[in-house]
Amino acid sequence: MQVKELALIGNCQASALVHRSGTIVWCCLPRFDSPPVFGALLNEQNGGAFAIRPADGSNGVQSYITNTNVLTTTFTSREGSFRVVDFAPRFELYSRSFRPTKFIRIVEPLTGTPRIRVLCAPVLGWTAQPPRTELGSHHISYAGYDAELRLTTDAPLSYLKGEPFALTERKCFVLSWGSPVEEPLPALCDRFLKETVAYWQRWVKQCDIPPLYQDEVIRSALALKLHCFEDTGAIVAATTTSIPESPGSGRTWDYRYCWLRDAYYTLNAFRLLGQFEEREQFLHFLLNVASAAPDLNLPPLYRVDGSNDLDEQILPNWPGFQNEGPVRIGNQAASHRQNDVFGEMILALSPLFLDARFKGAVTPSAVRLVSDLAEKAAAVAGQPDAGIWEFRSERKPQTFTALMCWAGLDRTATIAQHHTLRTRCDWAATAAALRQRILAEATCPERHCLVAEFGGRTLDAALLQAVTLRFFPPGDPHQMGTVDTIRKELDLSGFLKRYNAPDDFGTPAVAFTLCSFWLVEALAHVNRLDEARLVMERLLLVSSPLGLLSEDLAPDTGALWGNFPQAYSHAGVIHAAFAAAPSWSEVL
């Protein structure tokens, strides 16, 4: 199994990964951070899967119905051909979002009389034990979960044990958590499919896109939307855990949670797309988690319900993706001090105060929160922390942290021009003083560039954001110096590593996908558009056949590694595409 062979489906309540064999190999229910119901991604033998595949075991060809998150997988064998349509229902019903915890699989014969195998074998979470099954007239119930898990179908139940049978007519399968299906199955599946396709295509039509890279931006927008947990407004970093950053690295992390930093960057992508709903929902999530921490000692990540019980565990009985363990649940980073989040939360909140379309969202709670965040950013800037890359050993003053605190203070000064904040601090002067400190303590005079740590010499690709955040005034030699030095010294076969210093696990062996998109943005910002577009075109060649990206890539093989799909990477596609593309007025 390869990362590039996986497709994502979902509805902002739950999601699943479907392998091109026609097998659901990853699905956590009833929400992203729940234990897996199907976990073959990390345990091929005993992790659980839901397979609808040809009798000969061949793989199919996957594609999405145009501008949707509805997947089709087409199979061809000697006996004939068929396709599987996979989706999670999502559409508007009674003026509300209808997103039941259900997955629908429709199997349609296309030519001949293909023979297929169907086997639904869920597991009871991380125990990897099979549930007790109970057969009804047209369904199988799986006992042992917090709610009923049921597979309802119009196929003969006797055929669902993995033995081959002839597909002579269309068959429907609905896997439901909680409320089961009670109405005629074919009509329900047809209606849900039609409404779901219409919903996604309408949502895409409402997106702003640039003239170049249109298909890539649309697919990234659709993938990002599936990382939103609509119930609370949380946005998860990825829907998977423990796909390693590279073979043999031991770098396996659980990303099924909401990082405040990642969410800010994703929200900015939704801003570029012209989408408001996700930004308003995340504001409510942020106000909720902030209200639980009066001192604003915010951890960097949360569960999708806003809780923070994320003690990291290793599961020794799960072999891992391609047997590359360990498999981890929870994340130690929840206990880290990552002070950049205060600046990033101000950046996430800024549109509420500066965009007239959000006037109704500027509540006293929001005003008080931005004032408190600014005070916190001013207090912690320059203090040692784990930083954006979540180093697990020595804490040092991270330049990226100080940069994001500066950006937050700078935007607070702008907000204060339009709104009366609780404190009367001169935020512009505070931001200017921090900027001078960064230039004095975190630059390399010989290379004219920002460095990763105060008083250090190593590099950090995240500092490319200093260019796009307007940290450097026009003509400052540190602007070009930072771009060119990072590009040269962090190069890995035409892509970028995160940093060039060993960390807790040694030296990273792969490129970090997002860093190269940051490079595209920075090059475009300094008017080196030809270079930006060349980098962009090369980046887009490494995505999966469906246009999906993981966290990391191996330039020598083109293999994708790390959790998949990665929200950070797809937000990077959108940011870079808007930066490198011409405006519509230049094209039309």
- What is the per-residue pLDDT across 405-436, written as a single tens digit (0 to 9) for each? 999 999 999 998 888 777 778 999 999 999 99
| Whole-number pLDDT of residue 189 | 97
pLDDT reading at 365 higher than 70? yes
pLDDT at position 556 is 85
Q: Where are the alpha helices (DSSP H) in 142-231?
A: 185-205, 214-225
More confident residue, 335 or 175: 175
Does the structure show a pLDDT above 90 at 334? no
Mean pLDDT of 363-380: 89
Q: Residue 540 phi/psi, 5° resolution?
A: -70, -15
Least confident piece of the model among 242-256, 475-489, 492-506, 544-558: 492-506
Residue with tokens 């064998």: 77
27 lies in some domain: yes
279: β partners: none
* 13 is a domain residue: yes
Q: What tokens appear for 204 in the block?
A: 């895409």
Decide if pLDDT at 392 tops 80: no
The yes-or-no verdict on residue 396 having pLDDT over 90 is no
**pLDDT for 511:** 94
Residue 82's pLDDT is what? 97
Residue 46, domain member (yes or no): yes
Q: Tens of pLDDT along 208-223?
A: 999 999 999 999 999 9
Which range of residues forms the domain containing residue 28?
3-203
Q: What is the pTM of this model?
A: 0.95
Domain total in the chain:
1
Place of tokens 């699989």: 105
Q: Could you report the per-residue pLDDT of 442-483, keeping only the tens digit for each?
A: 999 889 999 999 988 899 999 999 999 999 988 889 999 999
Distance set, CA 410 to CA 24, 83, 148, 465, 470 (Å): 47, 54, 51, 15, 10
H or E element: which one contains 138?
none
Residue 316: other Cβ atoms inside 10 A: 9
**Structure tokens given for 278:** 């996700």
- Which residue, 172, 99, 180, is CA-closest to 142? 180
Choose among 116, 94, 92: nearest CA to 106: 116
β-pairing, 96-98 with 91-93? Answer: antiparallel
Q: Please identify which residue in the block is written with the tokens 């949502």.
A: 203
What does the pLDDT read at residue 229? 97
Is position 255 within any domain?
A: no
Rounded Cα gap, residues 463 and 188, in angstroms: 51
Banded pLDDT at 393 (limits 50, 70, 90)? low
299: in domain: no
- Asked whether 388 and 344 are in contact (CB, 8 A), the reply is no
CB-based contacts of 85, cutoff 8 Å, min separation 6? 70, 71, 72, 104, 105, 106, 107, 108, 193
> What pLDDT score was predicted for residue 474?
83
The C-alpha angle with vertex 34 and arms to 32 and 39, in degrees rounded to 5, equals: 90
Statement: residue 30 has pLDDT above 70: yes
For residue 501, the model assigns a pLDDT of 77
pLDDT at residue 366 greater than cutoff 80: yes
pLDDT of residue 505: 67
The β-bridge relationship of strands 171-177 and 149-153 is antiparallel
Quick one: how many helices (H) and strands (E) in the chain? 13, 32
Least confident of 46-50, 57-61, 100-104, 260-264: 260-264
155 found inside a domain: yes
Residue 469 included in any domain: no
pLDDT given at position 333: 87
Q: How many CA atoms lie within 13 A of 8 on its CB side?
A: 32
- How far is the C-alpha of 196 from the C-alpha of 91, rounded, in Å? 6
Q: How confident is the model over 251-267, as pLDDT tens digits? A: 999 999 999 988 889 99
Measured over the CA atoms of residue 553, residue 555, residue 556 and residue 558, the dihedral's sign is positive
What mean pLDDT, rounded, does the chain reach? 93
Q: Which of 38, 59, 55 is nearest to 47 (CA)?
A: 38
Residue 401 lies in a domain: no
Residue 246: is its pLDDT beyond 70?
A: yes
For residue range 72-93, list pLDDT tens digits in order.
Answer: 999 999 999 999 999 999 999 8
Out of 63-77, 178-192, 247-261, 360-374, the most confident range is 63-77
User: Mean pLDDT lowest for which of 265-274, 496-505, 553-562?
Assistant: 496-505
The whole-number average pLDDT for the span 312-325 is 96
Task: For residue 186, give the amino acid letter.
Answer: P
Structure tokens at 313: 């565990």
What is the Cα–Cα distance from 424 to 416, expressed in whole angstroms? 9
Higher pLDDT among residues 530 and 357, named by residue: 530
Q: 581: helix, coil or strand?
A: coil
pLDDT band at 496 (very low <50, low <70, confident <90, very high): very high
Which has more pLDDT, 301 or 366?
301
